[in-house]
Amino acid sequence: MKPPIYEPKGKAKEYGDLALNIYTGCPHRCYYCFAPGVLHKDREAFHSHVEPRPGIVEEVRKQLEKEKITGKLIHLCFTCDPYPTGHDTNTTREIIKLLKEYGNHVQILTKGDGSRDFDLLDENDWYGITISGGTSIAAAAEPGAQSPYLRLLTLERAHKTGIKTWVSFEPVLDPDAVIGCIVSYFDLFDKIKVGKLNYWPSDIDWATFGRTVENTLKETGVEYYIKDSLRAEMERG
């Protein structure tokens, strides 16, 4: 196994300096998922075969010790979800404990439920959710994931316990629902990131959406980041 903690590249770099992927696949079956292609895996196999990567906990420990990785914010995860719905996520808990044992912090991004591990997190950790649109859109586009409403409820719990919270509106599938979510729930978010749908056709006017969502974000006063691909559309439009 290559060292499991790595430096993201390309679009992923916009999410963090270091990252770690815990599982072999993801059951959420998002139609827009890029991971099977990146990993050169059959899509059905990727969504149906989900387990911890072999030896992942011990390999992370070895790398932390060898490279003296400390004081870093490590993103969980890019090519999988740290809380795959319907699966045992104890390995995620072990990984979080280990990263923090060595003085690091975690930036979680999930479409599942990570509340079981809130006791491990503090004000230097980030708990985040992905929302692409409203409930009906999510049911069709992300059939194996928790509903956006349940994700928001879990995020609210994290917020109330003092954990930093963030939301990734990427890929945006329903612009109106995304803007409505920002307006309705912005007080739950410490940070917001917004990105377009990439690699799939769309009839969304990205330039108009980008300008509208940025104006909305400015009004909330919440820290935000517009992903480069969406920013490019705004500048061209």
For 216-229, the pLDDT digits (tens) are 999 999 999 999 99
The whole-angstrom separation of Cα 74 and Cα 86 is: 24
For the CA atoms of the chain, what is the radius of gyration? 17
Average pLDDT over residues 137-161: 96
Average pLDDT over residues 156-180: 97
Token reading at 102? 């060595």
What pLDDT is stored for residue 11 in this prediction? 62
Q: Which has more confidence, 199 or 221?
A: 221
Q: What share of the chain is helix, strand, coil (3-state, %, to 5)?
A: 45, 15, 40
Instruction: Please tell me the pTM assigned to this model.
Output: 0.95
Lowest-confidence segment of 10-24, 41-55, 184-198 by average pLDDT: 10-24
Residue 50 contacts residue 26 (beta carbons within 8 Å): yes
Average pLDDT, the chain: 95
For 63-97, the pLDDT digits (tens) are 999 999 999 999 999 999 999 999 999 999 999 99
Domains delineated in the chain: 5-236 (3.20.20.70)
Average pLDDT over residues 138-161: 96
